Amino acid sequence: MEVNPRLKFAAKKLIAVSLIVSPLVQIYLSFRDILFVLPKIQTLVSPANTQVIYIDLFNKAIIISTGLFIDSFYGFSLLLKPLEATRYLHLVFGVLLLAASILIYRSTVLTDVLSHLYYLPLT
């Protein structure tokens, strides 16, 4: 059973571009958290919890930089790989890598704190 090559080509390009763009979006969201969200949380949360949030932001920065390298490297290699040499395993691994980086990024203390605050004005 052979799948349409155009469909495989489109899936390959979509996964590769998603792997390249996803860390950039994560960097933007973390930058927004540091500039706008964290100062508002500091006024609402105790100083001990603020220190935990700072440590979590440092850990998140390490995760994002590692994810940026791995996801971008795999995305560019998938983008440049010829269609004939691309197997479905490569595409599945790209989707799993993208899902893992998003799940790891979303499972942080700052996300837990923000989920408990129903309304946090950013201005």
- Distance in angstroms (rounded) separating the CA atoms of residues 35 and 83: 42
Distance CA 73, CA 17 (A): 11
Q: Where are the domains of the chain?
A: 5-116
The residue type of 41 is I
Both tokens of residue 37?
A: 């969200």
Q: Contact 94/15 with Cβ under 8 angstroms?
A: yes
Q: Along the chain (123 residues), what's the average pLDDT of each consecutive run of 10 residues?
A: 80 90 83 76 72 77 83 90 88 90 75 62 52
- The contacts of residue 68 (CB under 8 Å, 6+ apart) are 23, 24, 26, 27
